[in-house]
Structure 1
Amino acid sequence: MKQSLDMRQGQSLVMTPQLQQAIKLLQLSNQELAEFVENEIERNPLLNKAEENAEDGGGEQGNAPARREQLSLDDNSGLGAAREQLDAPGEDVFEPGTGSDAAMPVEGSGPSAQTDWSSATSGGSFNSEEYDFAANLTTDLTLQEHLHNQLNIAGLSAADRLIGARLIDETDEAGYLRAPLEDVAKALGADEANVAAVLAVCQGFEPTGVMARSIPECLTLQLKERGRFDPAMEAMLANLDMVAKHDLKALADVCGVDKADLMDMLGELRQLSPKPGSGFSSDTTIAVAPDVFVRELPNGSFGVELNSETLPRVLMDKAYYAEVSVLPMRDQEKEFISECAANATWLIKSLDQRARTILKVASEIVRQQDAFFAHGVAHLRPLNLKQVADVIEMHESTVSRVTSNKYMATPRGLFELKYFFSAAIPSTGGGEAHSAEAVRYRIKALIDGETEDDVLSDDQIVEILTGYGIEIARRTVAKYRESLHIPSSVQRRRINRASA
């Protein structure tokens, strides 16, 4: 055994931190991207938000802020003497709406319904008669806040109030208590019987049915408050699966009532709320902002443009960088400044590349699915990531990242980019394949057109679709029907008989 030097030649892919960051930016949603950029601005003193200037600003993208944080790593370093007042404009800037996200016409797209994309938004003033000062100060009450307010006036002891507060915190937005009582008792070091007693008090709070541990318990609380909870209702709540299947004959036998009484009981059941907490506001509700707009152009084609409002505007202040670079610094401080400059430049380039990539992918999707925009979901074509990747000369993984958590506002509504990718259903005549989403839409349309006396079975739907030139199996029809939450033909007949 001996040591030796050996020279070999090979190829390998090295993922630099900058490349990893660029890939990460592609799959971020607009809200996640905004948070990421805010964190980068806080960490990097050379990065600033690009402020929108008036038209008379001489074409400058933005001015350096009047006040800056010192870049010193040591209070005694030369960087501490950097001036805090700079008037030089920044040079490197990523400014959405200045080029990469301009409206891009998509050739080959057909006409569609006219849509007015203009929105009139105006800010009110305190002197306006329409300004409601109280409405702008108050916020909607959440379910937990509503329950805590009732707990404070329930007259419980301090220990019981602590248990009640924990039970309220374990209640979800729909109004159900999700934590087992034994877990709450163990966490608080309390007796389980005491926790159950406090829960009984809390279940008397408004809205009725809140803090139940199951749907039957929730409905039971509401029926007891109405004085309508009897053995027949108790039997019905214990067999809600029969109610869902509309098996009225078996349900009447279980409840021990005739058909007329059973229909009255079902009518009372429909008046109850299975989600008592749904009427309260939710702190976790997040509005979806589109990343891309699609609109019809005067020539009948479709234009695609980025939503610049959701893209962060950042710039690197080269004037400030040039000023602090000439100051006397130690090696560690020079390395810090250089790293900040490199990271700022790379972030700006990555943001611009991300915008261009999203626009390119969205434009190709619109070109491929022009029939959808012109005629509706029935004309959605089968499409996969590879088809788009080959046209725009990118890798499939890149297209997959771009379409994740990205939304497109179209004349037909707001859609996630992944919505336009669907499997292909073969044609019976060997012609052009059909999109799985379009076939699913046809199945729903057929079922919506049913009459009370003519309910289509899955086999009959297969025959009808075959007449349209769609080759599909019965199990596939059943799978698509279940994905649309449509009951079987047997259950639909029962529903029709019950409503007759």
Structure 2
Amino acid sequence: MIGQRLEIRQGQGLVITPQLQQAIKLLQLSNQELEAFVEAELERNPLLKRDEEADIPGEAVGETSADSPNDPHAELSFDEARPDAAEQAMDTRADDVYDASPGERATEGAGGGGDEAQPGLSDWSRTGKGGPVPEGEGMERADSRELTLWEHLQAQLSGTPLNAADRAIGLALIEMVDDHGYLRGDLAEVADRLGCGIDRVEAVLAVCHGFEPTGIMARSVPECLKLQLVERNRFDPAMAALLDNLELLARHNLSALRSACGVDAEDLSEMISELKALTPRPGAGFGGEPAQTVIPDVLVRPDPAGGWRIELNADTLPRLLVDKRYHGVVSAGARSDTEKTFVADCAAQANWLVKSLDQRAKTILKVSSEIIRQQDAFFAFGVEFLRPLNLKTVADAIGMHESTVSRVTSNKYMATPRGVFELKFFFTSAIQSVDGQSSHSAEAVRHRIKSMIDHEGRDGDVLSDDRIVELLNQAGIDIARRTVAKYREALRIPSSVERKRRLKTG
């Protein structure tokens, strides 16, 4: 029988409130994007203001140590396993979002569970310069802005088959490129800082020499011209001699140049014409704004007592306060319901923004602390000791969702004694062992493959990819032949057939 009736049902559902959307948005913003967002909020909300007078020391903005979890300044430690209520609100519980009342003090800490202010976690210091423009005109301006040379090189680096460790070396090299496109710096210094061999740095540089524009990242004018000639298939012994004697060309000593190159006047004239068609400054075609120095969000330094000290960079945290005095004035002057609603909304949004910034900082610090704990060997011994790591491992360790960890590690940078790295750099793939009980870092396997090939040929034997697979399986590493071939190509190592041919002719 068909009829109508009333029923009451109770159920649970996820409600994405505007406040939670803002908290999630803040979590994934870079420090420059955060500054742009804060600037827009300062213009929109009259109750927000910057606190330019407070001088917050580094420890006050949140610092932790692997060996001092009870540090009075430490907001997070390696021993913490579960997020507090505020972190759960950002992570999974949208219906429990805290909505700050207009009368609540802006200096109270979010998720602190008490009424005492938490210095340094609610009042933020001004971030660095730059950043996207406010919403609405940002896309238009981003589309019209030309890529800088450094952005162009970084984009090409991300498209190479290099592993995470070699990409870190590549980024370090790109930072040493000047406006003309030349590499200015000592490769040995890069190798020492990253804890790897000079041969590995040179191998990565050889990959970078294949980037566009041709000749980029050369260390000298002759090397820059050589790269362009090689691409045109015009580099021969005569051209090599000409590049080795450019000073004779500069002095117009053509007779000595003909003798050095072993060519006649007509050939020399053609060679000089080819040189004039090349570009001695490959980076000059990139205009636009200069490359901005990456401002790290997290600072890592050795702890004299052992381990590492991790703290937030106060220069990347906007220092905001709610202007309670002005709030009282405008509240008393509000007469219509519209005015009262506007003031109440501004106060609620201001308090929520301060608390969201607080929570963002604590979440970044917690995730960074776990990354440091997981990759301690990298900081102690170098790039060869990166461990396999994924988002789930970090998320489970700190009691957060993988999506939260993914947002935190996007566009966030960590300054360490070995250089500045994006947080996502520390997540490397793993290769299972034969017994299935353990895993090996992909980087460690690549290093093993390179070591095998470096030591081959002494007995006239060249290892094929299939033979390398067998040797790795005997060592307990479960790997496919196509993976070995991919790693070998990423290391710029030719096939066994080509290596055997070189061995015979060499």
TM-score by length of 2: 0.54
Secondary structure of 1:329's counterpart equals coil
* Cα distance in structure 2, aligned partners of 1:218 and 1:376: 31
Query: Is the 1:107–1:367 Cα contact (8 Å) retained in structure 2?
Result: no
* Corresponding residue for residue 101 of structure 1: 62
Q: CA deviation at 1:356?
A: 0.2
Query: Paired residue for 1:371, among 363, 368, 377?
Result: 377
* Corresponding residue for residue 31 of structure 1: 32
* 1:296-341 Cα shifts (integer Å, max 9, x gaps): 1012211111111111111111121122211242111111111110
Query: Is the 2:413–2:422 Cα contact (8 Å) retained in structure 1?
Result: yes
Query: Paired residue for 1:361, among 333, 351, 367?
Result: 367
* Cα distance in structure 2, aligned partners of 1:495 and 1:318: 78
1:8 aligns with 2:9: yes
Q: How does 1:194-343 map to 2 (within 5 A)?
A: 277-279=282-284, 281-283=287-289, 285-343=291-349
Query: Is the 2:61–2:314 Cα contact (8 Å) retained in structure 1?
Result: no
Q: 1:447 to 1:354 in 2, by over 3 A?
A: farther
Q: CA deviation at 1:23?
A: 0.7
Q: CA deviation at 1:348?
A: 0.4
* Cα distance in structure 2, aligned partners of 1:5 and 1:289: 59
Secondary structure of 1:278's counterpart equals coil
Q: 1:342 to 1:443 in 2, by over 3 A?
A: farther
Q: 1:273 to 1:239 in 2, by over 3 A?
A: closer
Query: Is the 1:290–1:408 Cα contact (8 Å) retained in structure 2?
Result: yes
* Corresponding residue for residue 18 of structure 1: 19
* Cα distance in structure 1, aligned partners of 2:146 and 2:310: 44
What one-letter code is carried by the residue in structure 2 that aligns with 1:401?
R
1:425 aligns with 2:431: yes
* Corresponding residue for residue 387 of structure 2: 381
Q: CA deviation at 1:425?
A: 1.1
Q: CA deviation at 1:401?
A: 0.8
Structure 1 unaligned blocks of 5 or more: 55-94, 110-168, 175-205, 208-214, 220-232, 244-259
Q: 1:412 to 1:460 in 2, by over 3 A?
A: farther
Query: Is the 2:27–2:408 Cα contact (8 Å) retained in structure 1?
Result: yes
Q: CA deviation at 1:387?
A: 1.4
* 1:171-228 Cα shifts (integer Å, max 9, x gaps): 9867xxxxxxxxxxxxxxxxxxxxxxxxxxxxxxx99xxxxxxx99999xxxxxxxxx
Query: Paired residue for 2:400, among 394, 406, 410?
Result: 394
What one-letter code is carried by the residue in structure 1 that aligns with 2:36?
E
What one-letter code is carried by the residue in structure 2 that aligns with 1:322?
G
Q: 1:343 to 1:237 in 2, by over 3 A?
A: closer
* Cα distance in structure 1, aligned partners of 2:27 and 2:474: 43
Q: CA deviation at 1:237?
A: 7.2
* Corresponding residue for residue 188 of structure 1: none
**Amino-acid identity (%):** 56
Q: CA deviation at 1:107?
A: 4.0
Q: CA deviation at 1:483?
A: 4.0
1:406 aligns with 2:366: no
Secondary structure of 1:315's counterpart equals strand
Q: 1:438 to 1:42 in 2, by over 3 A?
A: farther
* Cα distance in structure 2, aligned partners of 1:328 and 1:350: 28
* Corresponding residue for residue 123 of structure 2: none
Secondary structure of 1:51's counterpart equals coil
Q: Which moved more, 1:460-469 or 1:288-297?
A: 460-469
Query: Is the 2:145–2:288 Cα contact (8 Å) retained in structure 1?
Result: no
Q: 1:364 to 1:51 in 2, by over 3 A?
A: same
* Corresponding residue for residue 155 of structure 2: none
Q: CA deviation at 1:480?
A: 2.6
What one-letter code is carried by the residue in structure 1 that aligns with 2:19?
Q
Q: CA deviation at 1:267?
A: 13
What one-letter code is carried by the residue in structure 2 that aligns with 1:470?
I
* 1:37-75 Cα shifts (integer Å, max 9, x gaps): 111111111111120347xxxxxxxxxxxxxxxxxxxxx
* Cα distance in structure 1, aligned partners of 2:498 and 2:273: 21
* 1:72-106 Cα shifts (integer Å, max 9, x gaps): xxxxxxxxxxxxxxxxxxxxxxx78463422x102
RMSD: 4.6
1:473 aligns with 2:480: yes
Query: Is the 1:47–1:315 Cα contact (8 Å) retained in structure 2?
Result: yes
Secondary structure of 2:378's counterpart equals helix
* Cα distance in structure 1, aligned partners of 2:331 and 2:274: 75
* Cα distance in structure 1, aligned partners of 2:443 and 2:381: 14
Q: 1:434 to 1:270 in 2, by over 3 A?
A: farther
Q: Give the number of the structure whose alpha-carbon radius of gyration is greater.
A: 1
Query: Paired residue for 1:434, among 424, 437, 440?
Result: 440
Query: Is the 1:358–1:402 Cα contact (8 Å) retained in structure 2?
Result: yes
Query: Is the 2:59–2:311 Cα contact (8 Å) retained in structure 1?
Result: no
Q: 1:9 to 1:363 in 2, by over 3 A?
A: same
Q: Which moved more, 1:404-413 or 1:456-465?
A: 456-465
Q: 1:378 to 1:218 in 2, by over 3 A?
A: closer
What one-letter code is carried by the residue in structure 1 that aligns with 2:283?
S
Query: Is the 1:378–1:439 Cα contact (8 Å) retained in structure 2?
Result: no
Secondary structure of 1:287's counterpart equals coil
Question: Matched residue pairs, number?
Answer: 328
* 1:445-482 Cα shifts (integer Å, max 9, x gaps): 66677889987653454455456543322211222334
Q: 1:106 to 1:33 in 2, by over 3 A?
A: same
